[in-house]
Amino acid sequence: MKVPLMSALAGLLWPVVAIFAADKAPYKLAGTSTETCACRIPCACELTGDVPSTCQGVGAYAITTGSYAGADLSGVKLAYATKPSEWVRVYIVAPDPSRR
């Protein structure tokens, strides 16, 4: 299932956004994303927010161009694995070591 990059990132980053809601910063992202989970199609998590106890998922994002708060995010790749409401593992690859 393909999800628009901004929707996917918003879902993934929502806890962080909620904590720092007062510290809003301009952002712009373009790229490719994909995600999948262990749910049957159609995924109830996506449609209703009702997360079955068996749900586990993975996703990946490749940001071709973008910035956040003035920081260049072009070329950054992000992957995650999750069991919603229990754990999430996020892996980030920045092409430039000075931006890690």
Closest CA to 39 of 47, 31, 29: 47
Contact 31, 66 (CB under 8 A): yes
Residue 79: predicted pLDDT: 96
Sequence-ordered list of residues with C-beta below 8 angstroms from that of 18, at least 6 positions apart, any chain: none
Write out pLDDT tens, residues 13-33.
555 555 555 678 888 999 999
Structure pTM? 0.64
Q: Which domain holds residue 23?
A: 5-99
Contact 74, 63 (CB under 8 A): yes
pLDDT in tens, the chain (100 residues): 444 544 555 555 555 555 555 678 888 999 999 988 888 777 777 778 788 888 899 999 999 999 988 888 999 999 999 998 899 999 999 887 776 6
Cβ of 73: how many Cβ atoms within 10 Å?
19
Domain count, the chain: 1
Measured CA to CA, the distance from residue 13 to residue 50 in angstroms comes to: 19
